Structure 1
């Protein structure tokens, strides 16, 4: 579907805050984004490993699952698929952008997102139908929508999908994590979460927190480093506007760096 973006639409949405104030022209989705499904192959466990390939025009970007306060998280709709129980998106390590004093997280000029498709019946054909809403940005930002369909058969390993799988963040153990502990303190409208990680430094670092509750607003983390000790804090605000019970097991801490990223599930008490 073609989508045109004018400055009036751009200015109407706070989520599109990176739009240039002088943008007085219209750009269509097809000018900047091409998308397709890579059918991939059937895994030994009966799942299918497919891929969503997003190709962007030079200097354009799109966003990671946790895109920062000014970013636009992608939304997936698999309804209409045939013989599909669930779909798990495997996220390659993103990069951090700083524009007009704002931090966003995503992918520059394109990405392949591996899709692990779990069939209802592994012995029957699988048809994957993907509806994806996402944001793409350069000097302006625009909402994009793609509708894609692919029949998944036995297939053969795909080099682009495998490269994206290898680009995923490593786990804490593989990165040399020796310990992690998290303190939680109430603030007026939620919680302050502070994590201390005994983790070797991997270059310049950006720490991102996520919770299992999508209704919780997660701020931009502040972090400091003292040798092998990384300390990061973030404000969490619930829709109630008051302190709340945090599911520590549902917290994901990701440390992004130029030489790769580290993803740590769970945020235990000291």
Structure 2
């Protein structure tokens, strides 16, 4: 009887469907890889993070807007790495549930300028990445990528093209004047920015960033005034307390012009 029962249990087990490993919920929405790139004569290694997004999905720029999710990077698992500087290509502006978000669709090749501790040695780049990806819904995605970065290598045309597609400095972008008027508000500060530049009428967005990541910057109210882009943003410290604003640390990015313009620092009128 025992043998018959054992055979019956085995038969039932064989008839049941095999367990299926659960895939990551965002696996069909985004894929990630590291492009190993090349070592420059100055010792800096140029690599890139490549994200490929499914149709309809997008991810976010370093300053994602009120509706976006800022990207976070953890490089601590890397070997022979002194520092990493992302080089952000020019993003596009999205409208999402009545709010502005800023980012990329289809594909993002994010160049990385990596300084090794040992300039002549090989490196291993190990990155833990937290990004937001959105279609009709937004999903926080945790990605892990790794690549060996040997000394040498050759320029990758995908990375080269992405590095060429960055906002240009103010002088190259035809900026003729910039100022920021700062006034106190009940919760923080209000900054009214005026940027006079060629093709100001083409601008679709002005992004204001501060040197302090603890300061939240609202989406600006923007209009054009005879060749001058005028935008007003509210600044609030995340702990709700008072704060000092470092004008030299203000960074303004004008989007929609060709090319986009990167302005560092904003003096008083």
Alignment of 1:197-216 (within 5 A): 197-201=195-199, 203-216=202-215
Q: Residue 119 of structure 1: which of 116, 129, 154 is its match?
A: 116
Give, in angstroms, the shift of residue 258 of structure 1: 5.6
Match of 1:62 in 2: 59
Match of 1:50 in 2: 47
Give, in angstroms, the shift of residue 222 of structure 1: 1.3
Give, in angstroms, the shift of residue 175 of structure 1: 0.6
Give, in angstroms, the shift of residue 73 of structure 1: 0.7
SS of match in other structure, 2:111: strand
Match of 2:256 in 1: 257
Where in structure 2 are there 5+ consecutive unaligned residues? 1-21
Give, in angstroms, the shift of residue 241 of structure 1: 2.5
Alignment of 1:112-191 (within 5 A): 112-153=109-150, 154-191=152-189
SS of match in other structure, 1:249: helix
Distance in structure 1 (CA, Å) of the matches to 2:31 and 2:83: 25
Distance in structure 2 (CA, Å) of the matches to 1:205 and 1:140: 24
Q: Residue 87 of structure 1: which of 84, 98, 113 is its match?
A: 84
Greater mean alpha carbon deviation, residues 178-187 or residues 238-247: 238-247
Q: Residue 194 of structure 1: which of 182, 192, 195 is its match?
A: 192
Distance in structure 1 (CA, Å) of the matches to 2:248 and 2:255: 20
Q: Is the 8 A contact 1:3 1:143 kept in 2?
A: no
Map Cα deviations across residues 97-121 of structure 1 (whole Å, 9 max, x no partner).
0122111100011200000001111
Match of 1:9 in 2: none
Give, in angstroms, the shift of residue 261 of structure 1: 1.2
Give the aligned CA root-mean-square deviation in angstroms: 1.6
Give, in angstroms, the shift of residue 228 of structure 1: 1.9
Give, in angstroms, the shift of residue 230 of structure 1: 1.5
Give, in angstroms, the shift of residue 200 of structure 1: 1.3
Match of 1:267 in 2: 266
Alignment of 1:66-77 (within 5 A): 66-77=63-74
- In the superposition, the TM-score normalised over structure 2's length comes to 0.88
Looking at CA atoms only, which structure, 1 or 2, has the larger radius of gyration? 2
User: What is the aligned residue count?
Assistant: 247
Where in structure 1 are there 5+ consecutive unaligned residues? 5-27
Q: Is the 8 A contact 1:183 1:193 kept in 2?
A: yes
Give, in angstroms, the shift of residue 45 of structure 1: 1.1
Distance in structure 1 (CA, Å) of the matches to 2:258 and 2:173: 11
Q: Does 1:37 align with 2:29?
A: no
